[in-house]
Amino acid sequence: MKMRLIGPEGLDPFVYCSHGTPVPSEGDVVMGYEIRYGAQEYIRRKLNHLLNIRLILVPWGRNSTVALIYLLHWETEAETIGLDEKVFSDRYTDSDFEGSVRTVYSNTICFSCKRQWHTLIMPPGDYYPGRGSDMFYEKVAKREILRCPGCGSSLRQLVVKIIEEAFPEAASGHP
């Protein structure tokens, strides 16, 4: 596991963590930043299996000693091949990050069919310090926002990845 402060795409510097880096807990101090809102247990268990995701720690404002956890997500695994090597040998460019969006984990319920899904969502608002809300909307426009796999309804969140169903046994009608 390796970590490095980088600022691609004109963004304020954030901590990039190599694939497989253990997810810190709330209160941990990592690279000089105190972590707020540690990732949920689900992500702690699943993150290492998702190749097109990187853990990042985003400082909460300039000169802050507090950082928030995000999951940088690319649409395809091909986009992240060799990325760790590029970052840690300082050979990465903006184009390596163009396809990425900042996400957080969410247990998303479909209001139509009531099935629940483990998902990654783009939180609404400005989560791109250094570039502002314009970049947020640019990122949203580049990605397909997913609908409920069960019934096709809108999930009412900016869902970019559905990992699997939560409580599938409940949906199938078994006790």
Contacts 24+ apart (CB under 8 A), 79-85: 79/52, 80/19, 80/51, 80/52, 80/54, 83/54, 84/2, 84/18, 84/19
Q: At closest approach, how far in Å is the CB of 152 from Zn ion? A: 7
Q: Is 110 in the site for Zn ion (CB under 5 A)?
A: yes
Q: At closest approach, how far in Å is the CB of 45 from Zn ion? A: 25
Q: Is 8 helix (H, G, I), strand (E, B) or coil?
A: helix
Q: Binder to Zn ion among 151, 154, 156, 164 (CB under 5 A)? A: 151
Q: At closest approach, how far in Å is the CB of 151 from Zn ion? A: 3
Q: CA angle, corner 89, sides to 85 and 91, nearest 5?
A: 90
Question: What residues between 111 and 140 interact with Zn ion by CB under 5 A?
Answer: 112-113
**Residue span binding Zn ion (CB under 5 A) among the ranges 3-11, 51-59, 121-129, 150-158:** 150-158
Rounded to whole angstroms, the Cα distance separating 113 from 150 reads 7
Closest CB to Zn ion among residues 148, 158 = 148
**Residue span binding Zn ion (CB under 5 A) among the ranges 17-25, 31-39, 98-106, 146-154:** 146-154
Residues near Zn ion (CB under 5 A), total: 7
Q: At closest approach, how far in Å is the CB of 71 from Zn ion? A: 23
Rounded to whole angstroms, the Cα distance separating 153 from 8 reads 35
Q: Residue 9: which of 122, 103, 99 has the closest Cα? A: 99
Positions that interact with Zn ion (CB under 5 A): 110, 112-113, 148, 150-151, 153
